């Protein structure tokens, strides 16, 4: 079951003015640190890192080994024994810094954890 609207679906509803499709975010990101493990679904390569921010639509993972843009990955985020798993795609790579991910599919049970994490960041601001 798909619980997160993809960037393509979102933009097809509203159109684009001036900015390219991949230059616009559709969810506010909040500072948040969680351990991240990413596995490239095609090559099997693994990349580990830590998120610097998170939203319902994606996150940025700080890592010295970013995967290539357009890689489809299985992302596992862990914080204090809570887990979020998602199918995601790498949308941007900043060499030596990390990569930005867009969540493509997040199961309902993990959506609830993601929402709690975001609520926690809002509460601590």
pLDDT at 54 over 70: yes
* Region 44-65 average pLDDT: 96
Q: Does domain 7-123 have CATH number 3.30.420.40?
A: no
- If we measure between CA atoms, which residue out of 40, 46, 53 comes closest to residue 97? 53
Supply the pTM of this predicted model.
0.78
Chain-centroid distance of CA 97 in Å reads 15
| pLDDT, the chain, mean | 84
Sorting pLDDT into bands at 50, 70 and 90, what band is 124?
confident
Q: What pairing do the DSSP bridges indicate for beta strands 46-54 and 30-31?
A: antiparallel
100 DSSP 8-state letter = E
Is 80 exceeded by the pLDDT of residue 16?
A: no
Please report the pLDDT score of residue 29 as a whole number. Answer: 87
Nearest C-alpha neighbor of 55 from the set 105, 102, 16: 102
Distance CA 87, CA 101 (A): 10
- 78 and 34 in contact (C-beta within 8 Å)? yes
Residue, of 122 and 79, whose pLDDT is higher = 79
Tell me the C-alpha distance between 58 and 7, whole Å: 10
């Amino acid at each position: 079951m798909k619980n997160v609207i993809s960037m393509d679906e979102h933009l097809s509803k509203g159109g684009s003015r001036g900015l390219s499709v991949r230059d616009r975010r559709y969810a506010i990101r909040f500072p948040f640190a969680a351990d991240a493990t990413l596995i490239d679904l095609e090559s099997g390569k693994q990349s580990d890192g830590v998120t610097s921010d998170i939203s319902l639509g994606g996150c940025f993972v700080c890592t010295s080994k970013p995967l290539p843009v357009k890689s489809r990955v299985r992302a596992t985020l862990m914080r204090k024994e809570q887990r979020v798993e998602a199918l995601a795609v790498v949308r941007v790579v900043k060499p030596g810094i990390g990569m930005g991910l867009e969540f493509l599919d997040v199961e309902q049970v993990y959506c609830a954890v993601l929402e709690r994490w975001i609520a926690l960041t809002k509460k601590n601001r």
